[in-house]
Amino acid sequence: MAAAMPNEVTYRTKGMPMSSIADGQWKKTACILCENNCGIQVQVQDRRFVKIRGDKEHVSSHGYTCNKALRLDHYQNGGRRLTDPLRREADGTFTEISWDTAISEIASRLVAVRDTHGGRSIFFYGGGGGQGNHLGGAYRQPLQHALGARYRSNPLAQEKCGEAWVDAHLTGGHTHGDFEHAQVSVFIGKNPWQSHGVARARTVLKEIAKDPDRTMIVIDPVRSETADLADIHLQVRPGTDAWCLAAIVGVIVQDDLLDHDFAAEHLSDQAPVLEVLRRVEVSAYAQICGIPEATLRQVARLIATADSVSTYEDLGVQQGPNSTLISYLNKLLWLLTGNFGKPGAMQPHTWFAPPWAATTPTCSTPRSPARPCPLGSCRATSSPPRSSTTIRSASTP
């Protein structure tokens, strides 16, 4: 268990007495080191964060930070950080140049490429939203538009490629759990105690663990800090998460624990999927993943009968065997039980919709009926994967 963190830190700028460098004025901003963007307050001196603390008035983080936010001065002012652009010269050495020079040289070269080869020859590769600084994403679309560039990617294409593919075909976009209100929370290859991804992660995990009416389920071969807090730790054999999930979803289908009303209203093409899941040999799968069959059946019933369920799959499974299948099974877990678009359940991302929607649409893959080409001219596939369950609309039901 990690030690308690201070909720405020103070840095001393070399050679200056503290009384002369802090004007005592707290400025509101946000931590950019992960997708949660916790609200923080800082006191600044030149480029230094002299003091940092959580912002208790922030609408979602309520003063919470992890230790990374309190080290933001180190990340911004660490001695090895570049402070000026470096231009590579013909002999391979680098020359320090001004920002104005760098920006104008880069712009003129991009324009030359666009004018000679067309905007489609320019590929945009940006930071993933997981790094938490969304400014690159916000400015990306105007830049692409100015250049006529159609194609882009980011590090999430390596980390979460399979999940993105499944999302595109199932719902048209990524979803996120409402763990603050979920009656049942399921973490699959995910240890939010350390990696966050859940707002106020440690506070929320402790709240769930203390509440007898809520249940935390962790599927992970590792006895992580989150697993320590869980009501049920399914400590699968490494690499067998797919069998564990398939058995749970199989029980939900075979014992007719589906949310039929939700399925009738919001799902399509589920018949061939249900037919496959009816044939899952739960007992054999239980042996493969090393979890007692009775426990898998108990978990399936718990999930299917809960008022609300949120799930989170992460790199523990996404960088392992059968990762795309695991993503599909994870999403079947909450789709077949109707846990989408209601409090405590899975939600589409919405908070950035206006700025994203206001900018120019660009081409991205995979295409599916749930996520058609915004340009109307994409040559990528428009067919859903064979035997997929898809949600009819990308909007919240």
**In angstroms, rounded to a whole number, what is the distance separating the alpha carbons of residues 109 and 276?**
54
Q: How far is the CB of 252 from ligand SF4 (least distance, A)?
A: 33
176 counts as binding ligand SF4 under rule CB under 6 A: no
Find the binder of ligand SF4 among 9, 21, 22, 31 (CB under 6 A): 31
**In angstroms, rounded to a whole number, what is the distance separating the alpha carbons of residues 9 and 13?**
13
101 CB-near residues (< 8 Å, 6+ apart) = 85, 87
**In angstroms, rounded to a whole number, what is the distance separating the alpha carbons of residues 124 and 103?**
16
Taking CB under 6 A as the binding criterion, the range among 36-44, 122-130, 212-220, 248-256 that sits at the site for ligand SF4 is 36-44
Find the binder of ligand SF4 among 68, 114, 181, 301 (CB under 6 A): 68
Nearer to ligand SF4, 36 or 368 (CB): 36
Nearer to ligand SF4, 131 or 359 (CB): 131
Find the binder of ligand SF4 among 9, 21, 22, 34 (CB under 6 A): 34
175 counts as binding ligand SF4 under rule CB under 6 A: no
**In angstroms, rounded to a whole number, what is the distance separating the alpha carbons of residues 8 and 51?**
7
**In angstroms, rounded to a whole number, what is the distance separating the alpha carbons of residues 5 and 72?**
15
Q: How many C-alpha atoms does 370 have within 13 Å on its Cβ side?
A: 27
Nearer to ligand SF4, 37 or 310 (CB): 37
37 counts as binding ligand SF4 under rule CB under 6 A: yes
Q: How many helices (H) and strands (E) does the chain have?
A: 17, 16
What x-and-dash track marks residues 119-148 binding ligand SF4 by CB under 6 A? -------------x----------------
What x-and-dash track marks residues 253-292 binding ligand SF4 by CB under 6 A? ----------------------------------------
Q: Indicate the Cα dihedral angle 255, 256, 257, 260, nearest 10°.
A: 170
Find the binder of ligand SF4 among 42, 50, 69, 170 (CB under 6 A): 69
Query: What count of other Cβ atoms lies within 10 Å of the Cβ of residue 14?
Result: 6
- # chain residues binding ligand SF4, by CB under 6 A: 12
Length of the chain: 397
Nearer to ligand SF4, 169 or 196 (CB): 196
Q: Indicate the Cα dihedral angle 333, 337, 342, 345, nearest 10°.
A: -30
Identify the residue whose tokens are 């964060």: 49
Rounded alpha-carbon distances, angstroms, from residue 329 to 25, 273, 341, 347? 50, 11, 19, 17
196 counts as binding ligand SF4 under rule CB under 6 A: yes
Nearer to ligand SF4, 33 or 234 (CB): 33
Rounded alpha-carbon distances, angstroms, from residue 49 to 33, 42, 78? 15, 6, 12
Taking CB under 6 A as the binding criterion, the range among 63-71, 214-222, 278-286, 334-342 that sits at the site for ligand SF4 is 63-71
* Pairing, β 175-177 against β 346-348: antiparallel
33 counts as binding ligand SF4 under rule CB under 6 A: yes
Taking CB under 6 A as the binding criterion, the range among 65-73, 184-192, 229-237, 338-346 that sits at the site for ligand SF4 is 65-73
Enumerate binding residues for ligand SF4 (CB under 6 A).
Answer: 31, 33-34, 36-38, 65-66, 68-69, 132, 196
